Amino acid sequence: FTTQSLLLLEKQSGQTLEMTADDCVWQTKTENGWRKVQPELLLQGAASLEVQEVHKVTADPLNLESAMVLQIPEEFPGSGVSGVRKVARLLTHCSPKKYLNFKVKMFETEDLDFVGGELGSAPRKSHLSLFSAKLNSMVMQTDT
């Protein structure tokens, strides 16, 4: 099997980002529909997503690369100084009309609470497989 799409959802704000292997373009959902994402800072509830690269041509001209970093606000106790802390980096490599690959890099293990996910297959006839990971636990579910 191959990965055909990624859907990112920030639960507090409901902000949604999506990439499909059809066109390998990150899009964000707005009030007026979907729009292409550019290198920018997207605010998502308490977190922000820094889109660093989009649709960069790699050494393989049939492969496009995108990178984004999830950040959360942080205050430094006693100093009165606040800033942002990098939580995770998402790197995608995508071949249009074929498949996409992705890698999530966590910067600190204590930040695993901020990230979770599911991998699933599109329903075919009466079978759906789902892999879910959250808070250091992994569960495999199969619907037959």
pLDDT tens profile 32-65: 999 998 888 887 666 777 888 887 777 776 788 8
Minimum mean pLDDT range among 13-17, 40-44, 82-86: 40-44
CA neighbor of 8 nearest in space, from 107, 109, 104: 104
3-state helix, strand, coil in the chain (%, to 5): 5, 60, 35
Question: Does residue 140 surpass a pLDDT of 50?
Answer: no
Question: Does residue 98 surpass a pLDDT of 70?
Answer: yes
CB atoms closer than 10 angstroms to residue 85: 12
Mean per-residue pLDDT of the chain:
76
Residue 46 φ/ψ region, left for φ over 0, alpha for ψ in the -120 to 50 degree band, beta for the rest: alpha
Of 128 and 48, the structure prediction assigns the larger pLDDT to 48
CB atoms closer than 10 angstroms to residue 54: 20
> Average pLDDT of 62-76?
84
Question: Does residue 125 surpass a pLDDT of 70?
Answer: no
Question: Does residue 118 surpass a pLDDT of 60?
Answer: yes
CB atoms closer than 10 angstroms to residue 25: 17
Q: For residue 8, what pLDDT is reported?
A: 84
Measure the CA dihedral 114/105/17/117, to 10°. Answer: -50
Q: What is this structure's pTM?
A: 0.73
Question: Does residue 114 surpass a pLDDT of 70?
Answer: no
